[in-house]
Amino acid sequence: MSHSLEQPDVHELIYDWNLVDRRGPLGPRRPTLLDETLRDGIQSPSITDPSIDQKIELLRLMDALGVDFADIGLPGAGTRARGDVEALAREIVNSKLSIRPACAARTVVADIEPIVEISQRAGIEIEVLAFIGSSPIRLYAEEWTLDKILARSTEAISFAVRNNLPITYVTEDTIRSNPKVLRPLLSNAIGHGAQRVCLCDTVGHSTPDGVRALIRWTRALIDELGTETEIDWHGHNDRGLGLGNALWAYEFGASRIHGTALGIGERVGNTSMDQLLLNFKLLGAVDQDLSAMRHYVEAASRALHVDIPSRYPVFGEDAFRTATGVHAAAIIKARKKGDAWLADRIYSGVAAADFGKRQEIDVGFMSGVSNVLFWLTEHDVPAEPGLVDRIFAVAKRSSQVLDDVQIFEIIRSWHAETAMPAGT
């Protein structure tokens, strides 16, 4: 295999089975993204509602990442919510951000009225995300009839349209809703001016088969109605399928995908926006600069008081760490070739350097001597044979990876012993 180490050819070094059966791009056009962190995300019972300054910081970071829309709140929830929504809308105007605002609302005029008022005062169009339950279990619990839901929907959608606001009709728990109810609800919404319909996996029930079936059914209905209505996908992660379902939704025909920072949200959370962006980038569906993603994730962690798990993709403490001897040896060999590209990918499906991080090699009970030599080199400590042996022996007896403080203590102790005069 001919290969230039200075300019590695990914097609020679990495055989990508992800592309073997793919026929063209993941979707017909770039996916549109809607960030729900500041509305659906903060419904998590474990988070802290951020201050308005923190919300503005997150909004700016969403914009820097090229996210298209942000749900900036539910102003019908009360005075504080209205104030925050207006401040965020004004921030978009005053800072000339590219991101477009949306607001959630129950499908009632009383919830849409404050959105209209804020839109007019701030001087910016705000999309209405009008949600209503549609599954049989919800209708039974609420004692709602189809006629009642249709009447509420017609009134609310017509009010938004009369006030020149775009509206998306959001059917909660769509993935468990009967087509006999969905057909009249969606047809009515589209007929009265909804530009988008949002299909929801509100309780994280869906599998990829369900995503495909629901989107195909909805697309057939839209084609039957002869409109250009767009489809959104909003998913939760109760089965651990949130991210996968979102990627499938885009491939199956949803044009806008919802997500939240770190996947926060009710119960186990929503689709993770940062992981969604990461995968869309790796799959070639988006090409924007994601260098701000680290700041976005860390700002969300601070503002929401949500810890980033050590095993979290890309931004977890362990994302690019290894203490395994075989893995570390391969990375070290790649570095000795003077090939940073190779070293960053030989044991990583994501390039650390693309996100301002680097591969880290630790010393622990699964390590080899190469781990010790690498650590000493990185810390400018001469790799004297006896010292290497001492660190390696301690690591092998340990039940955890040695941290820097522990290794420096081993070095100090070894030097103290070797400096002692003979016979003492």
Q: Where along the chain do its domains lie? A: 29-304, 321-418
What integer pLDDT is reported at residue 4 of this predicted model?
A: 43
Banded pLDDT at 11 (limits 50, 70, 90) = low
Q: Which of 288, 270, 409, 262 is closest to 32 using CA atoms?
A: 288
**Is residue 323 exposed (0-12), middle (13-18) or buried (19+ Cβ within 10 Å)?**
buried
| The token pair that represents 268 in the structure block | 């186990």
Instruction: Report yes or no: 62 and 72 within 8 Å, Cβ to Cβ.
Output: no
**Is residue 184 exposed (0-12), middle (13-18) or buried (19+ Cβ within 10 Å)?**
middle
Has residue 188 got a pLDDT over 50? yes
Has residue 239 got a pLDDT over 50? yes
What integer pLDDT is reported at residue 5 of this predicted model?
A: 45
Those residues whose C-beta lies under 8 Å from the C-beta of residue 373, and which sit 6 or more positions away, are: 332, 383, 388
- Phi and psi at residue 144, to the nearest 5°: -90, 145
What integer pLDDT is reported at residue 131 of this predicted model?
A: 97
What integer pLDDT is reported at residue 125 of this predicted model?
A: 98
Has residue 424 got a pLDDT over 50? no
Encode pLDDT of 63-121 as tens digits.
999 999 999 999 999 999 999 999 999 999 999 999 999 999 999 999 999 999 999 99
Has residue 358 got a pLDDT over 90? no
Has residue 3 got a pLDDT over 50? no
3-state SS, the chain, equals CCCCCCCCCHHHHCCCHHHCCCCCCCCCCCCEEEECCCCCHHHCCCCCCCCHHHHHHHHHHHHHCCCCEEECCCHHHCHHHHHHHHHHHHHHHHCCCCCEEEEEEECCHHHHHHHHHHHHHHCCCCEEEEEEECCHHHHHHHCCCHHHHHHHHHHHHHHHHHCCCCEEEEEECHHHCCHHHHHHHHHHHHHCCCCEEEEEECCCCCCHHHHHHHHHHHHHHHHHHCCCCEEEEEEECCCCCHHHHHHHHHHHCCCEEEEEHHHCCCCCCECEHHHHHHHHHHCCCCCCCCCCHHHHHHHHHHHHCCCCCCCCCCCCCCCCEECCHHHHHHHHHHHHCCCHHHHCCCCCCCCHHHHCCCCEECECCCCCHHHHHHHHHHCCCCCCHHHHHHHHHHHHHCCCCECHHHHHHHHHHHHHHHCCCCCC
Handedness of CA 90, 70, 295, 81 (dihedral sign): positive
Domain boundaries 29-304, corresponding CATH code: 3.20.20.70
Residues of the chain with pLDDT > 90: what percent? 78
